Structure 1
Amino acid sequence: MKFAVVLALALACAAAAPVEKEPTKIVRSEFDQQPEGNYVFNFETDDGTARQETGEVKEALDEDNKPHTVVVVRGSYTYVDSEGEPQTITYFADETGFHAEGRTIPVAPVPNQ
């Protein structure tokens, strides 16, 4: 009888143990940086995650109207959400800040005028 209880407990513990998921694999990856600072970066994994981005150096004016160099970044990333749906976010960043768009990003209401 004790053996049956111990066996049942061992089987229950084994069934409750977490199943280790195989690590995500990178199926494509690229990074190319130019000497002047421009770059192209992208990757894709076997679970549906992907990202692509470019950076371009340009001159901009600061708050004192003095020129300085900035890197303008444009890109997007895609992931699979908890419902199995792919979600894509596109973005850019420049001297005005970081700006992102996508179905899952809330949009601020427009004030009445």
Structure 2
Amino acid sequence: MSDVMISVITLSACQNDDAILRNDFDGPHEDGSYKWAIQTEGGIYHEQRGSFKGSPEPSLLVEGQYQYTAPDGQVINLLYTADENGFHPTGDHLPTPPPIPPQIQRALDYIASLPPRDY
């Protein structure tokens, strides 16, 4: 998704007619790197930077964060990276899976300890 498209999506989430306090764009540069940040007076903030990594086939690494206040008053802050392995968000508001019950974990450990089988 392009920088402009992300910016449009971010700005469309603005409540009412919030003024834009910050709108910085830098890039894309010759090496493909870029960074941008947007902030509104309503408390929405989104920044992102991207660069290519790896050789001989480089892949795009994107890192960013956004923050806003949810309708219930909770401040939502999400950090993310995106690379050849997908989108990786982190944030206190994201659900987490329950722990694996001890009996199931013992069974999984036992299965993992068995020698491989040829079929």
Q: Normalising by structure 1, what TM-score? A: 0.69
The 1-side partners of 2:44 and 2:57 are apart by 35
Structure 2 unaligned segments of length 5 or more: list them. Answer: 1-14, 106-119
Q: How many residues align?
A: 87
The amino acid that maps onto 1:104 is H
Higher strand share: 1
Choose from 91, 94, 98 the match for 2:80. Answer: 91
The 1-side partners of 2:79 and 2:95 are apart by 14
Q: Looking at CA atoms only, which structure, 1 or 2, has the larger radius of gyration? A: 1
The amino acid that maps onto 2:89 is A
The 1-side partners of 2:98 and 2:34 are apart by 35
Higher helix share: 2
The 2-side partners of 1:36 and 1:107 are apart by 37
The amino acid that maps onto 1:72 is L
Percent identity over the alignment is 31
SS of equivalent to 1:68:
coil
Shift of 1:29: 0.9
Q: Normalising by structure 2, what TM-score? A: 0.65
